[in-house]
């Protein structure tokens, strides 16, 4: 009986397992539901982003700190300046001012005297020959509302419409007014043929000193960093223009022009490489002269194509040659020596220029220093940051670029340096006392020589050799043929 019950239970259990398995093996008619998201995450949930409760952008709370045209003065009374200007015009006939009366207007406006031509032209005076009170006030109001320092006002007055930089021709009206009205240049009224040459010289000196980028365009930043506006204002106080050695000295112009005149044998205001090589009795090497005419330091293709250098380009050469401590001069000669234009003077380039120096010394019976020995001296002199490579930065830092350059391509000055006491050279470099630049010293010495030569020539022509004769100051360079005079403008490229 018990055995039969066990068989029945086993049979029932077996049948029920079959039913369960058959139910599990049936395929569902719909896809299975997605698994439920676990209530507990295995890792920390990403923290919520903070809500942005800032009501205004941060930049609004930062006060303006960049003012390219000067910091506006909240206390400036523009209307007071306008009223004073109107009062000055009211004292003139028909409330109009010509170029000679603009000096009074310039002073009322708080500008230096020799801004008068710039103010006159900016107000339309160049077209009509006079400026009315209405046209001037309109120009002046716009200027003082937008420009808040002298540099920005000056650039805005001289620049062409839509330009924020100055090119060479922009300075011509300003400088012509100085020639016409400065008491130190009254003698030039009798020599109008030299007006444009003096103006050309001053323009080149301005760009040589101010245009540090070599772009041919003076920017507002460059004007602010220079001393040009201070020097221009000084002309009002100094009647002797030769005392203003920066930019405007007539004696400096006289020296530059006479040196050019000696080389320009056909007097067409251009010289070629043979003419330039004769400067200072062939002191500069032929290879450096060739580099100057290669276009390394000149703008445009005229020098390379025609092989001619203008008077304007000669101004750059002469100042660079006679003052190699000047930053622009260092850049000038670096460009010439950097044959491949990679911004580095390699040992090959140094040897290339020194070879000619050796040839000259051997021709003079002087035993030259072997290049390897010279190279060690130059590297000790410059102490370049990178071994075997001399950069412009290295030369400016060492303060002995003039010795470095003369060693490479000016034999006469190289030999002079070799004969000097090295301790005296170091003393000159370390001296902090303000002294005249090499260019100022050269111009002063050469001017005295030229005046003495001119005086001797006059005595010879007059047949008078009185012991008590006192030479008078030469006022103008030698006369030239009556050819059409033109202003030579030449930019330098970067």
Which are the contacts of 231, defined by CB distance < 8 A and separation ≥ 6? 244, 246, 247, 248
Q: State the average pLDDT over residues 33-60.
A: 52
**Res. 494: pLDDT tops 80:** no
Q: Which domains does the chain have, with CATH numbers?
A: 76-146 (1.10.238.230), 250-439 (1.10.238.10)
Residue 326, token pair as written in the block: 């000047």
In tens, the pLDDT along 58-102 reads: 556 766 655 666 656 665 567 888 999 999 999 999 999 999 999
Q: How far is the C-alpha of 446 from the C-alpha of 444, rounded, in Å?
A: 6
Cβ contact 489:202 at 8 Å: no
pLDDT for the residue 37? 43
DSSP 100: T
pLDDT of residue 1: 46
For residues 310 and 489, what is the distance between their CA atoms, to the nearest angstrom? 9
Percent of the chain with pLDDT over 70: 74
Provide the percentage of residues in the chain whose pLDDT is more than 90: 67
Local confidence band at 306 (pLDDT 50, 70, 90 cut-offs)? confident
pLDDT level of residue 481 (50, 70, 90 thresholds): very low
Confidence grade of residue 40 (pLDDT, cut at 50, 70, 90): very low
Confidence band for 473, pLDDT divided at 50, 70 and 90: very low
User: Between residues 42 and 442, which one has the greater pLDDT?
Assistant: 442
Q: Which two tokens stand for residue 343?
A: 């911004």
Label residues 74-90 b or e (16+ Cβ within 10 Å = b).
Answer: eeeeeeebeeebeebbe
Angle (deg, nearest 10), helices 327-337 and 347-363: 90
- The predicted model scores a pTM of 0.79
Alpha-carbon distance of 253 to 249, in angstroms, equals 7
Residue predicted with more confidence, 359 or 45: 359
pLDDT at 168: 97
Split at pLDDT 50, 70, 90, the class of 18 is very low
Residue 13 has pLDDT above 80, yes or no: no
Alpha helices in 147-267 (DSSP H): 150-158, 172-181, 195-210, 220-225, 228-237, 250-263
- Looking at every residue in the chain, the average pLDDT score rounds to 83
Segment 331-358, tens digit of pLDDT: 999 999 999 999 999 999 999 999 999 9
Q: How confident is the model at residue 454 (pLDDT cuts 50, 70, 90)?
A: confident
User: Residue 334 class from Cβ within 10 Å (0-12 exposed, 13-18 middle, 19+ buried)?
Assistant: buried
b/e per residue, 7-30, with b = 16+ CB within 10 A?
Answer: eeeeeeeeeeeeeeeeeeeeeeee
What whole-number distance in Å separates Cα of residue 485 and Cα of residue 193?
6
Q: What distance in Å separates the CA atoms of residue 224 and residue 150, rounded to the nearest whole number?
A: 9
Q: Name which of 75-84, 122-131, 310-319, 469-478 the model is least confident about.
A: 469-478
How would residue 247 be classed by pLDDT, with cut points 50, 70 and 90?
A: very high
> Minimum mean pLDDT among 60-69, 284-293, 451-460: which range?
60-69
| DSSP tag of 116 | H
| Cβ-based neighbour number of residue 404 at 10 Å | 24
Cα 399 from Cα 396, distance rounded (Å): 6
pLDDT at 184 over 80: yes
- In the numeric block, the tokens 């491949």 are attached to 340
For range 292-300, the mean pLDDT: 86
Q: How confident is the model at residue 228 (pLDDT cuts 50, 70, 90)?
A: very high
pLDDT score of 76: 58
Average pLDDT in the 177-201 region? 95
pLDDT confidence bin for 455, thresholds 50/70/90: confident
Model pLDDT, residue 29:
45
Q: What's the pLDDT score for residue 460?
A: 81
Whether the pLDDT of residue 153 is over 50: the answer is yes
Q: Check pLDDT > 50 for residue 297.
A: yes
User: Between 432 and 197, whose confidence is greater?
Assistant: 197
The pLDDT assigned to 61 comes to 72
pLDDT at 21 over 80: no
Q: Which residue has the higher pLDDT, 108 or 57?
A: 108
pLDDT tier at 222 (50, 70, 90 boundaries)?
very high
Higher-pLDDT residue of 69, 189:
189
Between 25 and 97, the higher pLDDT residue:
97
Angle at 188 between CA 186 and CA 189, to 5 degrees: 75
User: Does 441 score more than 90 pLDDT?
Assistant: yes
> What pLDDT score does 489 carry?
44
What does the alpha-carbon distance between residue 407 and residue 409 come to, in Å, rounded to a whole number? Answer: 6
How far is C-alpha 27 from the geometric centre of its chain's CA atoms? 88
Q: Burial of 350 by CB count in 10 Å (0-12 exposed, 13-18 middle, 19+ buried)?
A: buried
Higher local confidence (pLDDT), 328 or 482: 328
pLDDT, position 59: 57
């Amino acid at each position: 009986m018990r055995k039969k019950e066990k068989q029945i239970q086993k049979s029932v259990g077996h049948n029920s397992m079959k039913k369960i398995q058959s139910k599990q093996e049936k395929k569902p008619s719909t896809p299975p539901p997605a698994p439920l998201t676990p209530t507990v995450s295995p890792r920390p949930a990403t923290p919520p982003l903070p809500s942005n409760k800032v009501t205004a952008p941060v930049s609004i709370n930062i006060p303006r700190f960049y003012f390219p045209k000067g910091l506006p003065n909240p206390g400036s009374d523009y209307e007071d300046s306008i009223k004073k200007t109107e009062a000055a015009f009211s004292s003139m006939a028909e409330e109009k001012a010509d170029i000679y009366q603009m000096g009074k207007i310039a002073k009322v406006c708080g500008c230096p005297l020799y801004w008068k031509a710039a103010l006159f032209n900016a107000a339309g005076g160049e077209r009509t020959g006079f400026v009315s009170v209405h046209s001037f006030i309109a120009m002046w109001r716009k200027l003082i509302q937008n420009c808040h320092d002298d540099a920005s006002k000056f650039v805005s007055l001289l620049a062409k419409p839509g330009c924020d930089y100055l090119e060479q021709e922009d300075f011509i009206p300003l400088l012509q007014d100085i020639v016409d009205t400065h008491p130190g240049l009254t003698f030039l009224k009798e020599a109008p043929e030299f007006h444009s040459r003096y103006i050309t010289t001053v323009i080149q000196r301005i760009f040589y000193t101010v245009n540090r980028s070599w772009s041919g365009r003076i920017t507002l930043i460059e004007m602010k960093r220079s001393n040009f506006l201070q020097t221009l204002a000084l002309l009002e106080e100094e009647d002797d223009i030769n005392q203003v050695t920066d930019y405007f000295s007539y004696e400096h112009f006289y020296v530059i022009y006479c040196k050019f005149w000696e080389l320009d044998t056909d007097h067409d205001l251009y010289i070629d490489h043979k003419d330039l090589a004769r400067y200072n009795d062939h002191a500069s090497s032929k290879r450096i002269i060739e580099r100057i005419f290669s276009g390394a330091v000149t703008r445009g293709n005229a020098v390379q194509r025609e092989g001619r250098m203008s008077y304007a380009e000669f101004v750059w050469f002469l100042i660079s040659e006679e003052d190699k401590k000047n930053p622009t001069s260092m850049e000038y000669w670096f460009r010439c020596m950097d044959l491949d234009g990679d911004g580095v003077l390699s040992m090959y380039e140094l040897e290339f220029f020194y070879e000619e120096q050796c040839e000259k010394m051997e021709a003079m019976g002087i035993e030259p220093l072997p290049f390897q020995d010279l190279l060690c001296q130059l590297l000790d002199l410059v102490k370049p940051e990178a071994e075997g490579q001399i950069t412009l930065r290295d030369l400016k830092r060492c303060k002995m670029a003039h010795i470095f350059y003369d060693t490479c391509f000016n034999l006469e000055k190289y030999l002079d340096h070799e004969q000097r006491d090295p301790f005296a050279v170091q003393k000159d470099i370390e001296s902090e006392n303000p002294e005249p630049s090499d260019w100022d010293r050269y111009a002063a010495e050469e001017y005295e020589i030229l005046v003495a030569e001119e005086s001797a020539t006059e005595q010879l022509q007059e047949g008078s050799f009185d012991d008590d004769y006192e030479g008078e100051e030469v006022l103008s360079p030698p006369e030239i043929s009556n050819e059409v005079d033109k202003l030579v403008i030449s930019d330098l490229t970067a």
